[in-house]
Structure 1
């Protein structure tokens, strides 16, 4: 019993009732247009008083409503907002973008027609049934105190006595119709106002693009900040060990730390600039082989890493995107050597162009430290991602006591 009362008069039912009445209000302009069409066709002078003309006007107005919804894509956004607020439909089951495409427009037109059709019926019942029910409920009082007011003085007494029951039944029937209509609309809303397959595909593409941006941001921050922290840590460690015996080396290490940290702060802004892909004034350019390879090697050597570099190509002639990604790959390769190669390790770096590709090779002997951190890291994965985005390949591994990283980047591909 409680569930029945809640279904008929609960908060959700009342809100859906309001939604239906709003549909009836929206239907009125279309009904008026229908009257303009139906009135001359039936030769009816007073269409408003002719129930048949009213029903025909309503029937003519609904196709006009469907046409309106199909021509104005924003209808779906407005209806979805109303359904979410008044019908209790979960927000993630509705589409809030304007309807694009034939399928989305067709579904929106069907929903709008359904909303206005059921809304017009329930709104009309809401206007007509309560006054009629009140008259029935008060009928015994009128018969008792003013029998001359009744239209049928010969009506049986039992019929007059049961009139209040009939009036209450009318009100319950009205509530039941509104509850059923509101429930049906709430059930059909996700199918008609929800995302179409094209909408889901567009949303999936947007999520994939957002994920790609996030992954790229993670790679850039890992390579830039991670390398700087590794270099600064080793520079500080080396300076601490020779603090008393080699003051000149300590001064050089501190100067390298200062330069590394200052440059990294600028690179953070450059990283965000790369992700935004804008050229706004004041943005530091992303580091490239042609712009900062020598500086990268100098700062790495200041941390105690011995680096021999052989560059057999003009780095200025490389495509900017290849030069930028190659710089990050070299930076991450040197960072791995700093972290895992052992004390005073020697790294051999070779950069050359062969067969239309830029080849980057880093080799260093395996030291006492493990070449991989416990639990693994993201550096090699980031290198592989960068190479793959350019259509290249990346290989890394240990063989014969040597850790080797080799990357090939096609010069004719861009991400």
Structure 2
């Protein structure tokens, strides 16, 4: 019983009832236009004094409503109302203007149904409760009988008076049942009539994919620039602290490297955040490349106490800008891994060479203890794989021996070397 009561008077049923009442309110101007047509056509001077003429005006107004539903904002507004009042999930509705002929036809059909059902339920909601109240009190109030309210003479019979309160009470849940039924039908029809078409679903999927690609790109940039900077600064500061009294010259170099690293990272961070801030212009800091900052990257890494040996068999100035930028990030992440897993003072080998029409990058470093078992795991290594894949290349990372970790990436050339 509680389930039946909830389906008739629960929150969802009440909201759908409100949705129908709004449809009835929207139908009123069209009914007035229909009455202007029906009055002269039938010669009636009081269209609203006749129930059949009211129905005729309603029937004439609905096709007019279907035509006006071609207004571009109709579908977005109706979809918003269905979402909040009918309980239909947002991803099953289309919130853009109807574009094709089929979309406009379905919108017109929906608008006509909404106003049609809404007009009927709104009329019943206005007329039935007062009539039910009269039936309930009719046996007890003699002044209401005798034709004073225009009731048929049958209501003067004793058996009719005895049944009148029952009919009055029963008419109220009947009204609620009609409203709940019409609301459920509209909620069911909303998806095929207001839902997105395959074209709109494809456009939404492409927009989500583009947004995800931008987010992933920003995540990679933040991880590679900020993550590397924090690792480098931590090691540089630790190395400087350990030799603070014995090697002032090394301390000065470490502090200078920290200053340079943080300054560059703040610039890169400003550039990335400029993209994230809606309406802001992107930051002006240029993305680092092998040509612009490979020497600086190696110098800052060495300032942390690591011995970095670099072999560059390629001219960074001749590399295409996109390739040079992505290669820089790969080298940067490789050095970040070396800083995390190589022992203090351990040597790191970096090799950059052009072979067979591609740029090959190799970073090798010893590891203390068990080699990290996260091939293809970690955000940094996953970012390297993404960068290589976007350029049509490959990237692998993992232990080569029990004590050595090797990162290797091959990127196809996109321009003259």
Give the direction of change, closer, same or farther, for the CA distance of 1:144–1:363 in structure 2 (3 Å limit).
Answer: closer
Tell me the residue number matched to 1:207: 208
Scaled by the length of structure 2, what TM-score is found?
0.82
Structure 1 residues 4-403: aligned runs within 5 Å:
4-39=4-39, 41-42=41-42, 44=44, 46-69=46-69, 71-91=70-90, 93-140=92-139, 143=142, 147=146, 149=148, 152=153, 156-273=157-274, 280=281, 283-357=284-358, 359-364=359-364, 366-372=366-372, 377-399=378-400, 403=405
Alpha-carbon distance in 2 for matches of 1:211, 1:345: 39
Scaled by the length of structure 1, what TM-score is found?
0.82
Report SS of the residue matched to 2:331.
Answer: helix
Tell me the residue number matched to 1:410: 412
Alpha-carbon distance in 1 for matches of 2:263, 2:171: 81
Alpha-carbon distance in 1 for matches of 2:236, 2:352: 26
Q: Deviation per CA, 1:6-57, whole angstroms, max 9, x where unpaired?
A: 5444554444333222211211222233344445555555544454443333
Alpha-carbon distance in 2 for matches of 1:154, 1:370: 96
Alpha-carbon distance in 1 for matches of 2:161, 2:84: 43
Give the direction of change, closer, same or farther, for the CA distance of 1:62–1:356 in structure 2 (3 Å limit).
Answer: farther
Query: Per-residue deviation at 1:298?
Result: 1.2
CA contact (8 A) 2:323 2:414 kept: no
Report SS of the residue matched to 1:186.
Answer: helix
Give the count of matched residue pairs: 411
Give the direction of change, closer, same or farther, for the CA distance of 1:302–1:360 in structure 2 (3 Å limit).
Answer: farther
Q: CA RMSD in A?
A: 3.6
Alpha-carbon distance in 2 for matches of 1:277, 1:85: 28
Report SS of the residue matched to 2:288.
Answer: coil
Report SS of the residue matched to 1:396.
Answer: strand
Unaligned runs of 5+ in 2: none
Query: Per-residue deviation at 1:218?
Result: 2.5
Alpha-carbon distance in 1 for matches of 2:17, 2:113: 14
* Segment of structure 1 superposing worse, 164-173 or 390-399: 164-173
Unaligned runs of 5+ in 1: none
Alpha-carbon distance in 1 for matches of 2:384, 2:242: 33
Alpha-carbon distance in 2 for matches of 1:260, 1:278: 29
Alpha-carbon distance in 2 for matches of 1:340, 1:52: 87
Alpha-carbon distance in 1 for matches of 2:154, 2:292: 106
Query: Per-residue deviation at 1:104?
Result: 4.2
Report SS of the residue matched to 1:408.
Answer: strand
CA contact (8 A) 2:145 2:156 kept: no
CA contact (8 A) 2:145 2:155 kept: no
Alpha-carbon distance in 2 for matches of 1:373, 1:159: 87
After superposing on structure 2, the runs of 4+ consecutive aligned residues of structure 1 that deviate more than 6 Å are 274-279
* Segment of structure 1 superposing worse, 141-150 or 280-289: 141-150
Alpha-carbon distance in 2 for matches of 1:4, 1:411: 70
Q: Deviation per CA, 1:239-267, whole angstroms, max 9, x where unpaired?
A: 34434433322322232223223322222
